[in-house]
Structure 1
Amino acid sequence: MPRYDLIERLTSTCRELEQQLIVLREQLGQLRLLSGRVFTLPTIEKSKEHDPLSSIEVVQRVGHEAHQAAVAHFTRLFIQQQSEKTSTKAAIRLPGALCYSVTEYQYQQTSTLLERINQLKLTLEHIISVESELPSAQRFEWVHRHIPGLLTLNAYRAITQPETPDTVRFGWANKQIVKNLSRQQVLDMLEKSLNAGRAVPPWTKEQWAGRVEQEINDVQSLPESARLKIKRPVKVQPVARVWYQAQQKQVQYACPSPLIVLCRQETGETPPELGELLNYDADNIRHRYKPEAQPLRLIIPRLHLYCET
């Protein structure tokens, strides 16, 4: 059981994060908005978190409307701040970028505030994921006992502040989580699951144990030198591609929240050109380069575990 002082740090860190985000909302409201574009994505309803997405229709908001949507997004930390129909398991994303005109003092003030907010987010995630020493299944109950309704994904997400970009363009990224494993590592993982002695709906405890035992037998039948990998698709995500002309360099950022660009016009800095995020259509994806897929054989479907053939 986590110590009392850790619980105190958990609640005080969350309180300070909430307060600092309110300060950010007020501070950004005092700056002159040069340009802003955010793209509202469809909300995902409860029980539809795992439905495949073949298309995503975006709604563009610009100017002051984009600013209002962004600060509401930054300060959304609790379930109570969203519709009861909206899934709490699915990530709420608002890709886009906001560019503000700032003096040197305002630049330092806002940059320091963003650094503090991002540090609090890192601290909160470390307390929950590492210092609590709780398995993932128990973390949810522990966090919500002390901070009811906390949307941890929203609380963890850093706010990105690119420095003097020339253009910010948006697109979609299709990714996969790939993890290479040895035969013994997979067996250890399955043995741990078996020894946990739990039921996984819709199966009873005994039925689930039987399924895991069969999976162990399937892996044991492979040669010791078998090259195994978990290859799990991740849902398509919006990204920002930021171009720096002077360095002739492009940096790609995950874009679950609007980027904030602070432009010191008095020193000659100019606001970046902001692109548009088009609707996602899985049937019309163009790959710049798509390497030939490696032949793989599916071993355990629920784990997305494959064996190289």
Structure 2
Amino acid sequence: MKQYDAVAALHQCVSQLEAELNQLQQQLQSLRLLTGRVFSLPPVIKGKEHDEIANIEVTQHLGSAALALGLEHYCRLFMQHQSEQLSTKAAVRLPGALCFQADDAQSALLHQQVGRINSLKQRLEQIITVESGVESEERFEFVHTHLRGLITLNAYRAITLLDAPDTVRFGWANKHIIKNLSRQQVLEKLERSLKAGRAVAPWTREQWAEKVLEEIEAIHSLPADARLKIKRPVKVQPIARTWNVHQQKQTQLACPSPLLVLCADKNQVPTLGELLNYDAEQVKHRYKPQAEKLFAIIPRLHLYSDRLV
């Protein structure tokens, strides 16, 4: 897809997504709220996106206050909906759960609505990350040139809709994104970056090209059987754990937005737990396996190898 077509598709997709989210908001407002509990987290200030997180103070909201915050959160796609001091590079998280009474017809309608919304979110990510043809380090500028203030992480993240689990507990998770790559995949990525001919601050175009050439040489210098992997840390994030008595099954879910829970009546309302403040010094690992020894090859890409250059 040509970039011009990608920009048109981008605008159309976001417009459709906003319309569907507004309709979802209206549908939820027409239902009876059985219970609601959400937890607001401190905002991420511009320039502080990569700071180490040691503590997170949580503020709990219940009932109608939780509903109002939740509905606002689902529709929060743009920076214009918040202070200009806040980062557009960090998603706004509002973990928790909103439980509504819904009959079979209302439930079916909501499942369809949320399905359409999540499909549009996937479509938006596909346009930005694939069809635009823009390299990852240039996507922020591309998105904000054409959709100023779009918070892409908020726009990408799916809404989770559940049918009356028995309990919903909340907690925190630390993890890494790990992806194995072939030598050819890494070289192709670096070659594309080189051919783009752009500068990346604080380097000039020439300095950046020289840096990328050094990275290409580093990959060529690795032994032929060296394994390569991306190991990118993801900052601590809120999670939910649901329990279904009949299935005797626990499910762990990322919880950047309130879970939508549908119940036939008040007798199906799940027990909602609390989200406690995060304190890195108090984190206890039940089991922490010995990590494989890896060597940093290209730090900016979080690229590691089991062999040294």
Settle same-fold status: TM greater than 0.5: yes
Where does residue 287 of structure 1 map in the other structure?
285
Q: 1:271 aligns to what? A: 269
1:210-238 Cα offsets, whole Å, 9 max, x none, are 33333334333331111222211111111
- Residue in 2 aligned with 1:44? 44
Secondary structure, aligned partner of 2:268: coil
1:1-309 map, 5 Å: 1-3=2-4, 7-136=7-136, 139-140=139-140, 143-265=143-265, 270-308=268-306
Q: What secondary structure is seen at the aligned counterpart in 1 of 2:162?
A: coil
- 8 Å contact from structure 2 (residues 162, 259) kept in 1: yes
> What's the Cα RMSD here?
2.4
Judge which range, 6-15 or 236-245, deviates more: 6-15
1:86-131 CA distance string (max 9 Å, x none): 1111111111001112233322232322222222222333333333
Which residue identity does 1:110 align to in structure 2? L
**One-letter code of the match for 2:303?**
L
**Percent of counterpart pairs with the same letter?**
58
Answer yes or no: is the 8 Å Cα contact 1:38–1:62 preserved in 2: yes
- For the 8 Å contact 1:166–1:244, the answer to whether it is kept is yes
Give the aligned residue type for 2:304. Y
Q: Tell me the amino acid that sits aligned with residue 10 of structure 1.
A: L
* Contact 2:88 2:150 survives alignment (8 Å): no
Q: After alignment, is 156-165 or 135-144 more displaced?
A: 135-144
SS at match of 2:251: strand
Task: Classify the secondary structure of the residue corresponding to 1:113.
Answer: helix
Q: Which amino acid aligns with 1:17?
A: L
Give a deviation string over 1:32-85, Cα, whole Å, max 9, x none.
211111110100111111111111111111111111110010111221110011
Distance 1:303 1:244 in 2: 40
Q: How far apart are the structure 2 equivalents of 1:142 and 1:217? A: 29
Equivalent pair of 1:227/1:308 in contact (CA under 8 Å)? yes
> Offset at 1:264?
0.4
How many Å separate the matches in 1 of 2:8 and 2:238?
Answer: 36
- Letter of the 2:94 counterpart: L
Q: In structure 2, how many angstroms separate the alpha carbons of the residues matched to 1:127 and 1:218? A: 32
Instruction: Please give the secondary structure, in 2, of the residue aligned with 1:234.
Output: strand
**Structure 1 residues 206 and 48: CA distance shift in structure 2, 3 A:** same
Partner of 1:38: helix, strand, or coil? strand
Identify which range, 59-68 or 127-136, moves more after superposition: 127-136
Q: Once the 2 structures are TM-superposed, how far is the Cα of residue 148 of structure 1 from its aligned partner?
A: 3.8
Take 2:301 and 2:115, find their aligned partners in 1: how far apart are those partners? 37
Report the Cα distance in structure 2 between the residues aligned to 1:250 and 1:131, rounded to whole angstroms. Answer: 37
Shifted more, 136-145 versus 174-183: the winner is 136-145
SS in 2 for 1:47: coil
Q: Distance in 2 between matches of 1:192 and 1:146?
A: 23
SS at match of 2:49: coil
In the aligned structure 2, how far is the partner of 1:182 from the partner of 1:136? 18
CA distance 1:215–1:109, shift in 2 (3 Å): closer
Gaps (5+ residues) in structure 2?
Answer: none
What letter corresponds to residue 59 of structure 2 in structure 1?
V
The one-letter amino acid paired with 1:79 is: M
Contact 2:90 2:151 in 1 (8 A): no
Question: Partners of 2:187 and 2:126 in 1: how far apart?
Answer: 29
Secondary structure of the residue aligned to 1:37 is strand
Amino acid at match of 1:92: V
User: Structure 1 unaligned runs (5+)?
Assistant: none
Query: CA 1:194 to 1:27, structure 2 compared with 1: closer, same or farther past 3 Å?
Result: closer
Secondary structure of the 1:162 match is: strand
Q: How many residues were matched structurally?
A: 306
**Residue pair 2:91, 2:151 contacting (<8 A) in 1 also:** no
Distance in 2 of aligned mates of 1:198 and 1:250? 48
Task: Tell me the distance in 2 between the aligned counterparts of 1:9 and 1:3.
Answer: 9
**Aligned counterparts of 2:103 and 2:286: Cα–Cα separation in 1:** 41
Q: Tell me if structure 2 keeps the 8 A contact 1:183–1:225.
A: no
Q: Is the 8 A contact 1:44 1:87 kept in 2?
A: yes
